Structure 1
Amino acid sequence: METDELKNLILDKAKERFDRFGFKKTTMDEISHDCKISKKTIYEHFKDKEDLFISLFIRESRQVRDLIFAGISHIPDPLERLIELIRSAIAYFRQDNFLTRLLKDDDALFSAFLTVKYHVILEEELISLIATIIAEGKAQGKLRNVDEKVVAYVGLKLFQSFSYMRTMPISPEKDEQGYYTDALIDFMLHGLVKKDEALPGQQ
Protein backbone atom coordinates (compact mmCIF):
# COMPACT_ATOMS: atom_id res chain seq x y z
CA MET A 1 0.00 0.00 0.00
CA GLU A 2 1.38 3.43 -1.00
CA THR A 3 2.23 5.91 1.79
CA ASP A 4 -0.52 8.40 0.88
CA GLU A 5 -3.05 5.60 0.52
CA LEU A 6 -2.13 4.23 3.94
CA LYS A 7 -2.28 7.68 5.54
CA ASN A 8 -5.74 8.25 4.09
CA LEU A 9 -6.90 4.84 5.34
CA ILE A 10 -5.76 5.76 8.85
CA LEU A 11 -7.45 9.17 8.58
CA ASP A 12 -10.67 7.61 7.26
CA LYS A 13 -10.87 5.14 10.14
CA ALA A 14 -9.93 7.81 12.66
CA LYS A 15 -12.68 10.03 11.24
CA GLU A 16 -15.27 7.32 11.91
CA ARG A 17 -14.04 6.94 15.49
CA PHE A 18 -13.76 10.65 16.28
CA ASP A 19 -17.16 11.33 14.78
CA ARG A 20 -18.84 8.58 16.76
CA PHE A 21 -17.02 8.74 20.10
CA GLY A 22 -15.23 12.10 20.16
CA PHE A 23 -11.55 12.90 20.54
CA LYS A 24 -11.15 12.04 24.21
CA LYS A 25 -12.79 8.62 24.08
CA THR A 26 -11.00 7.46 20.92
CA THR A 27 -7.76 5.53 21.39
CA MET A 28 -4.92 4.73 19.02
CA ASP A 29 -5.44 1.04 19.81
CA GLU A 30 -9.00 1.25 18.44
CA ILE A 31 -7.85 3.06 15.30
CA SER A 32 -5.12 0.46 14.83
CA HIS A 33 -7.70 -2.32 15.16
CA ASP A 34 -10.06 -0.65 12.68
CA CYS A 35 -7.25 -0.21 10.15
CA LYS A 36 -6.00 -3.78 10.68
CA ILE A 37 -2.46 -2.48 11.03
CA SER A 38 -0.09 -2.21 13.97
CA LYS A 39 -0.03 0.84 16.20
CA LYS A 40 3.65 1.16 15.34
CA THR A 41 2.69 1.68 11.68
CA ILE A 42 0.33 4.50 12.66
CA TYR A 43 3.10 6.17 14.64
CA GLU A 44 5.30 6.07 11.57
CA HIS A 45 2.88 8.53 9.97
CA PHE A 46 1.50 10.47 12.94
CA LYS A 47 3.38 11.58 16.04
CA ASP A 48 0.46 10.98 18.40
CA LYS A 49 -3.34 11.14 18.60
CA GLU A 50 -3.31 14.95 18.57
CA ASP A 51 -1.19 15.00 15.41
CA LEU A 52 -3.57 12.51 13.79
CA PHE A 53 -6.58 14.60 14.78
CA ILE A 54 -5.03 17.82 13.45
CA SER A 55 -4.10 16.11 10.17
CA LEU A 56 -7.67 14.85 9.80
CA PHE A 57 -9.11 18.28 10.56
CA ILE A 58 -6.83 19.93 8.01
CA ARG A 59 -7.63 17.33 5.33
CA GLU A 60 -11.38 17.65 5.82
CA SER A 61 -11.24 21.47 5.91
CA ARG A 62 -9.23 21.63 2.71
CA GLN A 63 -11.62 19.27 0.95
CA VAL A 64 -14.57 21.48 1.91
CA ARG A 65 -12.66 24.62 0.91
CA ASP A 66 -11.79 23.15 -2.48
CA LEU A 67 -15.40 22.05 -3.00
CA ILE A 68 -16.81 25.50 -2.23
CA PHE A 69 -14.26 27.43 -4.28
CA ALA A 70 -14.68 25.04 -7.22
CA GLY A 71 -18.40 25.80 -7.12
CA ILE A 72 -17.81 29.54 -7.59
CA SER A 73 -14.86 29.40 -10.00
CA HIS A 74 -17.12 29.82 -13.06
CA ILE A 75 -18.45 33.21 -11.86
CA PRO A 76 -16.52 35.94 -13.73
CA ASP A 77 -17.57 38.92 -11.64
CA PRO A 78 -15.57 39.12 -8.37
CA LEU A 79 -18.45 40.75 -6.48
CA GLU A 80 -20.86 38.01 -7.50
CA ARG A 81 -18.18 35.45 -6.62
CA LEU A 82 -17.84 36.89 -3.11
CA ILE A 83 -21.60 36.80 -2.61
CA GLU A 84 -21.84 33.20 -3.77
CA LEU A 85 -18.84 32.28 -1.61
CA ILE A 86 -20.64 33.57 1.50
CA ARG A 87 -23.92 31.88 0.57
CA SER A 88 -22.28 28.54 -0.30
CA ALA A 89 -20.10 28.47 2.81
CA ILE A 90 -22.95 29.32 5.19
CA ALA A 91 -25.21 26.78 3.47
CA TYR A 92 -22.56 24.09 3.89
CA PHE A 93 -22.07 24.77 7.58
CA ARG A 94 -25.81 24.64 8.19
CA GLN A 95 -25.72 20.98 7.19
CA ASP A 96 -25.11 18.10 9.58
CA ASN A 97 -21.73 16.77 8.51
CA PHE A 98 -18.47 15.72 10.14
CA LEU A 99 -16.72 19.07 9.89
CA THR A 100 -19.70 21.03 11.19
CA ARG A 101 -20.12 18.67 14.12
CA LEU A 102 -16.41 18.97 14.85
CA LEU A 103 -16.39 22.76 14.70
CA LYS A 104 -19.32 22.93 17.09
CA ASP A 105 -17.56 20.64 19.57
CA ASP A 106 -15.94 23.06 22.00
CA ASP A 107 -13.78 20.37 23.61
CA ALA A 108 -12.23 19.55 20.24
CA LEU A 109 -12.07 22.87 18.46
CA PHE A 110 -10.88 25.14 21.21
CA SER A 111 -8.22 22.91 22.71
CA ALA A 112 -4.90 24.73 22.35
CA PHE A 113 -3.26 22.31 19.94
CA LEU A 114 -6.04 22.63 17.35
CA THR A 115 -6.72 26.34 17.65
CA VAL A 116 -3.11 27.28 16.87
CA LYS A 117 -2.73 24.81 14.01
CA TYR A 118 -6.08 25.79 12.50
CA HIS A 119 -5.23 29.48 12.54
CA VAL A 120 -1.75 29.13 11.09
CA ILE A 121 -2.38 26.49 8.46
CA LEU A 122 -5.99 26.92 7.35
CA GLU A 123 -7.05 30.47 8.06
CA GLU A 124 -4.06 31.93 6.24
CA GLU A 125 -4.87 29.81 3.19
CA LEU A 126 -8.50 30.97 3.22
CA ILE A 127 -7.54 34.61 3.74
CA SER A 128 -5.21 34.41 0.75
CA LEU A 129 -7.96 32.98 -1.49
CA ILE A 130 -10.51 35.60 -0.41
CA ALA A 131 -7.93 38.39 -0.75
CA THR A 132 -7.28 37.29 -4.33
CA ILE A 133 -10.95 37.82 -5.22
CA ILE A 134 -10.97 41.23 -3.55
CA ALA A 135 -7.74 42.21 -5.37
CA GLU A 136 -9.37 41.23 -8.66
CA GLY A 137 -12.35 43.45 -7.86
CA LYS A 138 -9.99 46.33 -7.06
CA ALA A 139 -8.12 45.82 -10.34
CA GLN A 140 -11.44 46.00 -12.21
CA GLY A 141 -12.32 49.24 -10.42
CA LYS A 142 -15.38 47.70 -8.74
CA LEU A 143 -14.07 47.65 -5.17
CA ARG A 144 -12.60 50.36 -3.00
CA ASN A 145 -8.84 50.58 -2.49
CA VAL A 146 -8.77 48.51 0.69
CA ASP A 147 -6.13 46.24 2.18
CA GLU A 148 -7.45 42.98 0.75
CA LYS A 149 -5.77 40.78 3.36
CA VAL A 150 -7.17 42.77 6.28
CA VAL A 151 -10.67 42.80 4.73
CA ALA A 152 -10.41 39.07 3.96
CA TYR A 153 -9.47 38.41 7.59
CA VAL A 154 -12.39 40.49 8.88
CA GLY A 155 -14.72 38.80 6.40
CA LEU A 156 -13.61 35.35 7.53
CA LYS A 157 -14.17 36.23 11.18
CA LEU A 158 -17.60 37.62 10.39
CA PHE A 159 -18.44 34.46 8.45
CA GLN A 160 -17.39 32.31 11.42
CA SER A 161 -19.57 34.36 13.76
CA PHE A 162 -22.53 33.94 11.40
CA SER A 163 -22.07 30.17 11.00
CA TYR A 164 -20.52 27.64 13.39
CA MET A 165 -19.24 30.13 16.02
CA ARG A 166 -22.45 32.02 16.65
CA THR A 167 -22.55 33.75 20.02
CA MET A 168 -25.84 35.61 19.68
CA PRO A 169 -29.35 34.17 19.91
CA ILE A 170 -30.92 33.73 16.49
CA SER A 171 -34.42 33.30 15.17
CA PRO A 172 -34.71 29.85 13.51
CA GLU A 173 -37.42 31.23 11.21
CA LYS A 174 -35.23 34.14 10.05
CA ASP A 175 -32.30 31.78 9.69
CA GLU A 176 -34.33 29.50 7.41
CA GLN A 177 -35.26 32.50 5.27
CA GLY A 178 -31.60 33.48 4.89
CA TYR A 179 -32.01 36.69 6.90
CA TYR A 180 -28.61 36.49 8.61
CA THR A 181 -26.81 35.50 5.43
CA ASP A 182 -28.32 38.50 3.62
CA ALA A 183 -27.33 40.79 6.51
CA LEU A 184 -23.71 39.63 6.29
CA ILE A 185 -23.62 40.04 2.51
CA ASP A 186 -25.18 43.51 2.74
CA PHE A 187 -22.62 44.59 5.34
CA MET A 188 -19.67 43.26 3.34
CA LEU A 189 -20.79 44.77 0.04
CA HIS A 190 -21.50 48.23 1.44
CA GLY A 191 -18.05 48.23 2.98
CA LEU A 192 -16.29 47.14 -0.21
CA VAL A 193 -18.14 48.53 -3.20
CA LYS A 194 -17.23 51.95 -4.57
CA LYS A 195 -19.93 54.56 -4.09
CA ASP A 196 -20.35 55.03 -7.84
CA GLU A 197 -20.53 51.27 -8.48
CA ALA A 198 -23.95 49.60 -8.54
CA LEU A 199 -24.41 46.76 -6.11
CA PRO A 200 -25.26 43.35 -7.61
CA GLY A 201 -28.97 43.26 -8.38
CA GLN A 202 -29.23 47.06 -8.63
CA GLN A 203 -28.12 47.46 -12.27
Structure 2
Amino acid sequence: MDEDKAKSLIIDGASELFFKFGFSNTTTQQIAEELEISKKTIYKYFPSKESLLEAVLEREHLEMEAQLSQLVNQDDLDFLEKTRQLSELLVFGNSKFGPQFVKELQRYKFSNWSYHCHAHHRLLVYFEKLLHQGIEQGFIREETNLPVVLLIIDCLQGHLNFDKLSQMDMSLNQAIDEIIQVIMNGIITDTGRERLAKAGRL
Protein backbone atom coordinates (compact mmCIF):
# COMPACT_ATOMS: atom_id res chain seq x y z
CA MET A 1 0.00 0.00 0.00
CA ASP A 2 1.43 3.40 -0.97
CA GLU A 3 1.73 6.31 1.44
CA ASP A 4 -1.35 8.25 0.28
CA LYS A 5 -3.61 5.20 0.53
CA ALA A 6 -2.20 4.31 3.93
CA LYS A 7 -2.78 7.82 5.27
CA SER A 8 -6.30 7.91 3.85
CA LEU A 9 -7.13 4.55 5.44
CA ILE A 10 -5.85 5.68 8.84
CA ILE A 11 -7.77 8.97 8.62
CA ASP A 12 -10.92 7.00 7.73
CA GLY A 13 -10.58 4.81 10.79
CA ALA A 14 -9.67 7.68 13.11
CA SER A 15 -12.58 9.78 11.85
CA GLU A 16 -15.09 7.04 12.58
CA LEU A 17 -13.89 6.53 16.15
CA PHE A 18 -13.22 10.20 16.96
CA PHE A 19 -16.67 11.24 15.76
CA LYS A 20 -18.43 8.41 17.58
CA PHE A 21 -16.61 8.31 20.91
CA GLY A 22 -14.68 11.58 21.06
CA PHE A 23 -10.98 12.35 20.69
CA SER A 24 -10.00 11.80 24.33
CA ASN A 25 -11.92 8.52 24.54
CA THR A 26 -10.18 7.05 21.50
CA THR A 27 -6.67 5.60 21.63
CA THR A 28 -4.29 4.87 18.79
CA GLN A 29 -4.47 1.23 19.87
CA GLN A 30 -8.22 1.22 19.24
CA ILE A 31 -7.70 2.81 15.82
CA ALA A 32 -5.07 0.21 15.00
CA GLU A 33 -7.37 -2.63 16.07
CA GLU A 34 -10.26 -1.18 14.05
CA LEU A 35 -8.07 -1.07 10.94
CA GLU A 36 -6.25 -4.33 11.72
CA ILE A 37 -2.86 -2.65 11.51
CA SER A 38 -0.13 -1.97 14.07
CA LYS A 39 0.28 1.21 16.11
CA LYS A 40 3.73 1.43 14.55
CA THR A 41 2.09 1.85 11.15
CA ILE A 42 -0.04 4.73 12.44
CA TYR A 43 2.97 6.49 13.99
CA LYS A 44 4.91 6.02 10.77
CA TYR A 45 2.58 8.54 9.10
CA PHE A 46 1.25 10.50 12.10
CA PRO A 47 3.74 11.20 14.93
CA SER A 48 0.97 11.78 17.49
CA LYS A 49 -2.75 11.40 18.02
CA GLU A 50 -3.02 15.19 17.82
CA SER A 51 -1.43 15.25 14.36
CA LEU A 52 -3.94 12.60 13.29
CA LEU A 53 -6.77 14.81 14.56
CA GLU A 54 -5.37 17.71 12.52
CA ALA A 55 -5.42 15.50 9.42
CA VAL A 56 -9.02 14.47 10.14
CA LEU A 57 -10.15 18.09 10.54
CA GLU A 58 -8.22 19.25 7.48
CA ARG A 59 -9.98 16.66 5.34
CA GLU A 60 -13.36 17.70 6.77
CA HIS A 61 -12.61 21.33 5.89
CA LEU A 62 -11.47 20.44 2.38
CA GLU A 63 -14.60 18.38 1.76
CA MET A 64 -16.83 21.17 3.07
CA GLU A 65 -14.95 23.72 0.96
CA ALA A 66 -15.42 21.60 -2.18
CA GLN A 67 -19.16 21.21 -1.52
CA LEU A 68 -19.57 24.94 -0.82
CA SER A 69 -17.73 25.81 -4.02
CA GLN A 70 -19.90 23.49 -6.08
CA LEU A 71 -23.10 24.88 -4.53
CA VAL A 72 -22.21 28.58 -4.79
CA ASN A 73 -21.03 28.23 -8.40
CA GLN A 74 -24.11 26.31 -9.56
CA ASP A 75 -25.69 28.70 -12.08
CA ASP A 76 -29.09 26.98 -12.34
CA LEU A 77 -29.99 27.70 -8.69
CA ASP A 78 -31.09 31.05 -7.28
CA PHE A 79 -29.95 32.51 -3.96
CA LEU A 80 -32.86 31.17 -1.90
CA GLU A 81 -32.45 27.62 -3.17
CA LYS A 82 -28.72 27.79 -2.54
CA THR A 83 -29.42 29.01 1.00
CA ARG A 84 -31.80 26.10 1.58
CA GLN A 85 -29.21 23.62 0.34
CA LEU A 86 -26.51 25.37 2.38
CA SER A 87 -28.55 24.82 5.54
CA GLU A 88 -28.95 21.14 4.68
CA LEU A 89 -25.24 20.87 3.89
CA LEU A 90 -24.20 22.35 7.23
CA VAL A 91 -26.67 20.23 9.18
CA PHE A 92 -25.67 17.04 7.37
CA GLY A 93 -21.99 17.87 7.72
CA ASN A 94 -22.33 18.21 11.50
CA SER A 95 -24.71 15.28 12.01
CA LYS A 96 -21.81 12.81 11.87
CA PHE A 97 -20.22 14.34 14.98
CA GLY A 98 -21.12 12.80 18.32
CA PRO A 99 -21.72 15.10 21.33
CA GLN A 100 -18.39 14.31 22.98
CA PHE A 101 -16.42 15.12 19.83
CA VAL A 102 -18.35 18.36 19.33
CA LYS A 103 -17.46 19.56 22.83
CA GLU A 104 -13.81 18.63 22.40
CA LEU A 105 -13.71 20.27 18.98
CA GLN A 106 -14.50 23.66 20.50
CA ARG A 107 -11.62 23.31 22.96
CA TYR A 108 -9.33 22.21 20.14
CA LYS A 109 -10.21 25.29 18.09
CA PHE A 110 -9.16 27.65 20.86
CA SER A 111 -5.87 25.81 21.42
CA ASN A 112 -5.12 25.85 17.67
CA TRP A 113 -6.43 29.31 16.89
CA SER A 114 -4.23 30.15 13.90
CA TYR A 115 -5.22 26.95 12.08
CA HIS A 116 -8.88 27.50 12.96
CA CYS A 117 -8.85 31.08 11.61
CA HIS A 118 -7.16 30.05 8.36
CA ALA A 119 -9.60 27.19 7.76
CA HIS A 120 -12.70 29.29 8.38
CA HIS A 121 -11.38 32.18 6.31
CA ARG A 122 -11.32 29.80 3.34
CA LEU A 123 -14.99 28.95 3.93
CA LEU A 124 -16.02 32.60 4.40
CA VAL A 125 -15.03 33.34 0.79
CA TYR A 126 -17.97 31.23 -0.39
CA PHE A 127 -20.42 32.78 2.07
CA GLU A 128 -19.39 36.22 0.79
CA LYS A 129 -19.90 35.19 -2.83
CA LEU A 130 -23.33 33.77 -2.01
CA LEU A 131 -24.39 36.99 -0.26
CA HIS A 132 -23.32 39.05 -3.28
CA GLN A 133 -25.43 36.77 -5.47
CA GLY A 134 -28.37 37.43 -3.15
CA ILE A 135 -28.00 41.19 -3.65
CA GLU A 136 -27.63 40.86 -7.42
CA GLN A 137 -30.77 38.71 -7.64
CA GLY A 138 -32.80 41.08 -5.47
CA PHE A 139 -33.21 38.79 -2.47
CA ILE A 140 -30.93 40.71 -0.08
CA ARG A 141 -31.29 44.43 0.60
CA GLU A 142 -28.64 46.48 -1.19
CA GLU A 143 -27.87 48.50 1.94
CA THR A 144 -26.96 45.36 3.89
CA ASN A 145 -23.56 45.68 5.55
CA LEU A 146 -22.00 42.47 4.24
CA PRO A 147 -18.78 42.72 6.29
CA VAL A 148 -20.90 42.75 9.46
CA VAL A 149 -22.96 39.76 8.28
CA LEU A 150 -19.75 37.88 7.49
CA LEU A 151 -18.35 38.83 10.90
CA ILE A 152 -21.45 37.33 12.55
CA ILE A 153 -21.11 34.13 10.50
CA ASP A 154 -17.41 33.89 11.33
CA CYS A 155 -18.05 34.36 15.05
CA LEU A 156 -20.80 31.76 15.05
CA GLN A 157 -18.57 29.19 13.36
CA GLY A 158 -16.09 29.26 16.18
CA HIS A 159 -18.02 30.36 19.25
CA LEU A 160 -21.18 28.28 19.53
CA ASN A 161 -21.43 27.34 23.20
CA PHE A 162 -22.30 23.65 23.17
CA ASP A 163 -22.88 23.50 26.92
CA LYS A 164 -25.41 26.32 26.53
CA LEU A 165 -27.14 24.46 23.70
CA SER A 166 -27.50 21.44 25.98
CA GLN A 167 -29.11 23.62 28.65
CA MET A 168 -31.54 24.93 26.03
CA ASP A 169 -32.31 21.35 24.94
CA MET A 170 -31.28 22.33 21.41
CA SER A 171 -29.11 20.26 19.10
CA LEU A 172 -26.31 21.74 17.02
CA ASN A 173 -28.33 21.08 13.86
CA GLN A 174 -31.37 22.91 15.27
CA ALA A 175 -29.14 25.83 16.26
CA ILE A 176 -27.67 26.07 12.74
CA ASP A 177 -31.14 26.14 11.19
CA GLU A 178 -32.40 28.78 13.64
CA ILE A 179 -29.31 30.96 13.18
CA ILE A 180 -29.68 30.94 9.39
CA GLN A 181 -33.34 31.94 9.76
CA VAL A 182 -32.46 34.83 12.09
CA ILE A 183 -29.75 36.14 9.74
CA MET A 184 -32.03 35.81 6.71
CA ASN A 185 -34.86 37.69 8.44
CA GLY A 186 -32.51 40.60 9.02
CA ILE A 187 -31.21 41.03 5.47
CA ILE A 188 -33.86 39.71 3.09
CA THR A 189 -36.00 41.85 0.78
CA ASP A 190 -39.80 41.75 0.57
CA THR A 191 -39.50 39.67 -2.60
CA GLY A 192 -37.35 37.13 -0.84
CA ARG A 193 -39.66 37.12 2.18
CA GLU A 194 -42.66 36.34 -0.03
CA ARG A 195 -40.79 33.48 -1.69
CA LEU A 196 -39.77 32.02 1.66
CA ALA A 197 -43.31 32.36 3.02
CA LYS A 198 -44.73 30.49 0.03
CA ALA A 199 -42.21 27.73 0.62
CA GLY A 200 -43.21 27.57 4.30
CA ARG A 201 -39.77 28.58 5.49
CA LEU A 202 -40.73 31.74 7.38
Quick check: which one's helix share is greater?
Answer: 2
Q: Given that residues 54 and 117 in structure 1 are in contact (C-alpha distance below 8 angstroms), is that contact kept between their aligned partners in structure 2?
A: no
2:137 aligned with 1:136, yes or no?
no
State how many pairs are aligned.
193
Tell me how far apart the structure 2 counterparts of residues 2 and 32 of structure 1 sit (CA, whole Å): 18
Change beyond 3 A, Cα 1:149–1:23: same
Change beyond 3 A, Cα 1:116–1:142: same
Change beyond 3 A, Cα 1:148–1:3: farther
Find the counterpart in structure 2 of residue 77 from structure 1.
Answer: 78
2:6 aligned with 1:3, yes or no?
no
Q: Which amino acid aligns with 2:55?
A: S
Tell me how far apart the structure 2 counterparts of residues 103 and 165 of structure 1 sit (CA, whole Å): 16
Give the C-alpha shift of residue 87 in structure 1: 4.3
Tell me how far apart the structure 1 counterparts of residues 110 and 150 of structure 2 sit (CA, whole Å): 24
Tell me how far apart the structure 1 counterparts of residues 69 and 155 of structure 2 sit (CA, whole Å): 18
Q: Which amino acid aligns with 1:110?
A: R
Find the counterpart in structure 1 of residue 153 from structure 2.
Answer: 155
Aligned pairs (5 A) from 1:87-106:
87-90=88-91, 93=94, 95=95, 97=96, 99-101=97-99, 103-104=101-102, 106=103
Tell me how far apart the structure 1 counterparts of residues 37 and 196 of structure 2 sit (CA, whole Å): 56
Tell me how far apart the structure 1 counterparts of residues 75 and 63 of structure 2 sit (CA, whole Å): 18
Give the C-alpha shift of residue 147 in structure 1: 4.7
Give the C-alpha shift of residue 166 in structure 1: 2.6
Gaps of 5+ in 1: none
Provide the TM-score with structure 2 as the length reference.
Answer: 0.67
> What CA RMSD, in Å, does the superposition of the two structures yield over aligned residues?
4.1
